[in-house]
Amino acid sequence: MSELLGHYNYWIVIVLMMTGFYTVIARPNLIKKIIGLFIFQTSVFILFISMAKIEGGTAPIIEAGISVYSNPLPHVLILTAIVVSLATTALGLALVVRIRQAYGTIDEDDIQVQDEED
Amino acid sequence: MEYLIDIVLLGLLMITGFAIVRMRSLLAVAMLTSIYSLLSASLFVVLDAVDVALTEAAIGAGISTILLLAAVALTTDEEQAPRHTPLLPLIVVITTGAALIYGTVDMPHYGDPASPVHRHVAATYLHDTPGEIGVPNVVTSVLASYRGYDTLGEVTVIFTAGAGVLALLGYRTRRRNSRGPGNRKLVVLRVIAKLFFPLILLFALYIQFHGDYGPGGGFQAGVIFATGFILYALAFGLGNAQRVIPHRMLHIMMAVGVLIYASVGIESMLLGGKFLEYRVLAEDPVTGQHLGIMLIELGVGITVAAVMLIIYYGFVSQQRSGDM
Determine the pLDDT at residue B172.
72
Residue A85 belongs to some domain of the structure:
yes
Tell me the chain A residues in contact with residue B107 when contact means C-beta distances shorter than 8 Å: 7, 10
Determine the pLDDT at residue B122.
85
Determine the pLDDT at residue B322.
45
- Check if A21 contacts B (Cβ < 8 Å): yes
Determine the pLDDT at residue A1.
54
Determine the pLDDT at residue B324.
43
**Which residue in A has a C-alpha nearest to residue B16's C-alpha?**
A16
Inter-chain Cβ pairs, chain A and chain B, closer than 8 A: 282
Determine the pLDDT at residue B320.
62
pLDDT by residue for chain A (118 residues), tens only, comes to 556 677 888 999 999 999 999 999 998 899 999 999 999 999 999 999 999 998 888 898 888 888 889 999 999 999 989 988 998 899 999 999 999 989 988 888 889 899 998 7
Stretch 41-100 of chain A: residues touching chain B, C-beta under 8 Å: 42, 45-46, 49-55, 57-63, 68-76, 78-80, 82-91, 93-98, 100
Residue B280 belongs to some domain of the structure:
yes
- What total of structural domains would you count in chain A? 1
Residue A39 belongs to some domain of the structure:
yes
Residue B152 belongs to some domain of the structure:
yes
Residue type, B233: A
Q: Which domain holds residue B48?
A: 1-120
Tell me how close the Cα of A116 comes to any Cα of chain B, in angstroms. Answer: 17
Same domain, yes or no: B146 and B222: yes
- What total of structural domains would you count in chain B? 2
SS (H, E, C) B257-314: HHHHHHHHHHHHHHCCCCCCCHHHCCCCHHHHHHHHHHHHHHHHHHHHHHHHHHHHHH
Q: Look at residues B91, B120, B149 and tell me which one is the last residue of a structural domain.
A: B120
Residue A40 belongs to some domain of the structure:
yes
Dump the DSSP string for B8-43. Answer: HHHHHHHHHHHHHHH--BHHHHHHHHHHHHHHHHHH
Q: Enter the pTM of the model.
A: 0.91
Same domain, yes or no: B175 and B296: yes
Tell me how close the Cα of A28 comes to any Cα of chain B, in angstroms. Answer: 6
Determine the pLDDT at residue B50.
92
Same domain, yes or no: B201 and B321: yes
- Enumerate long-range contacts of B74-78, CB under 8 Å, 24 or more apart: B74/A97, B74/A100, B74/B315, B74/B318, B74/B319, B75/A31, B75/A96, B75/A97, B75/A100, B75/A106, B76/A100, B76/A105, B76/A106, B76/B26, B77/B25, B77/B26, B77/B27, B78/B24, B78/B25, B78/B26
| Cβ distance of B60 and A42 shorter than 8 Å | yes
Residue A29 belongs to some domain of the structure:
yes
Residue A6 belongs to some domain of the structure:
yes
Same domain, yes or no: B95 and B140: no
SS (H, E, C) B64-130: HHHHHHHHHHHCCCECCCCCCCCHHHHHHHHHHHHHHHHHHCCCCCCECCCCHHHHCCHHHHHHHHH
Same domain, yes or no: B206 and B250: yes
Same domain, yes or no: B166 and B238: yes
Q: Is B255 helix (H, G, I), strand (E, B) or coil?
A: helix
Residue A35 belongs to some domain of the structure:
yes
Tell me the chain A residues in contact with residue B20 when contact means C-beta distances shorter than 8 Å: 19, 23, 35, 39
Nearest to B112 by CA among A63, A72, A3: A3
Tell me the chain B residues in contact with residue A32 when contact means C-beta distances shorter than 8 Å: 26, 29, 79
* Cβ atoms of B77 and B26 closer than 8 Å: yes
* Cβ atoms of A60 and A72 closer than 8 Å: yes
Residue B130 belongs to some domain of the structure:
no
Same domain, yes or no: B140 and B97: no
Q: Which domain holds residue A30?
A: 2-56+69-117
Same domain, yes or no: B95 and B241: no
Q: From the list B52, B130, B304, which residue is nearest A78 (CB)?
A: B52
CATH number at residue A87: 1.10.287.3510
Same domain, yes or no: B27 and B51: yes
Nearest to B263 by CA among B307, B310, B211, B298: B298
Determine the pLDDT at residue B52.
94
Determine the pLDDT at residue B135.
87
Q: Look at residues B92, B120, B148 and tell me which one is the last residue of a structural domain.
A: B120
Q: From the list A12, A29, A54, which residue is nearest B14 (CB)?
A: A12
Determine the pLDDT at residue B323.
44
- Check if A20 contacts B (Cβ < 8 Å): yes
d(CA B28, CA B69): 10
Tell me how close the Cα of A114 comes to any Cα of chain B, in angstroms. Answer: 16
Q: Look at residues B120, B146, B178 and tell me which one is the last residue of a structural domain.
A: B120
How confident is the model over B271-323, as pLDDT tens digits? Answer: 988 888 888 888 888 888 989 999 999 999 999 999 999 999 998 888 765 44
CATH number at residue B58: 1.20.120.1200
Residue B127 belongs to some domain of the structure:
no
Residue A90 half-sphere exposure, CB side, CA atoms within 13 Å? 34
Tell me how close the Cα of B218 comes to any Cα of chain A, in angstroms. Answer: 11
Same domain, yes or no: B154 and B108: no
- Check if A19 contacts B (Cβ < 8 Å): yes
Tell me the chain A residues in contact with residue B37 when contact means C-beta distances shorter than 8 Å: 42
**Which residue in B has a C-alpha nearest to residue A89's C-alpha?**
B64
Residue A100 belongs to some domain of the structure:
yes
Same domain, yes or no: B174 and B55: no
Residue B129 belongs to some domain of the structure:
no
Residue A61 belongs to some domain of the structure:
no
Give this complex's ipTM. Answer: 0.93
Same domain, yes or no: B261 and B298: yes
Q: Divide the 324 residues of chain B into consecutive groups of 10 and give the mean pLDDT of each group.
A: 88 94 91 94 93 92 91 86 84 95 88 85 87 88 89 93 90 62 72 93 93 88 93 87 88 94 92 87 88 92 94 84 46
Residue B128 belongs to some domain of the structure:
no
